[in-house]
Amino acid sequence: MSYVKQKRAQKQEQAPDPYPEDGAIRCPMAEKMNVEFVVNEDAEIWVLHDQPFPAILHWVEYDQETNIVTFVTHDGKIQDLGMVIAKPVGEILIDADEICAMLMQDGQIRDIGIVPVIVRETVFH
């Protein structure tokens, strides 16, 4: 291994975890579990996932500018969905009042949580 590659490897080993267990920001969902984001034309939204959330959900935020969905738990920690929402889906999402999160394991629903959606928008005056 070259000197440069060895130094890079050492630096990566020393880098702190960007998502420590006790941190306020959790690893994006799509990096930790299988997740599907399902929307219909009536603004009904489901998030199907195969691993439990690390804490009880409090609400979900949708940022219209970045097209990112973020989950906020009762203990104040946030977790990004881990995928960018397509503009047509985002147009439906802004009309949603709630999201149904469904834990799916072995082809069965193991848990359901329904939480409100907050839509963030940037307004310039």
In a domain, 8, yes or no: no
Number of domains in the chain: 1
In a domain, 38, yes or no: yes
In a domain, 67, yes or no: yes
Residue type (1 letter), 39: V
pTM of the complete model: 0.78
In a domain, 40, yes or no: yes
Q: Rounded distance, CA 57 to CA 74, Å?
A: 6
pLDDT in tens, the chain (125 residues): 566 566 666 665 665 666 666 667 788 888 889 999 999 989 999 999 999 988 899 999 999 999 999 999 999 899 999 999 999 999 999 999 999 999 999 999 999 999 999 998 766 65
Domain with 37 in it: 20-120
Whose tokens are 């959900």? That residue is 57
Which is it for strands 78-84 and 68-73: parallel, antiparallel or unpaired?
antiparallel
In a domain, 80, yes or no: yes
In a domain, 13, yes or no: no
In a domain, 3, yes or no: no
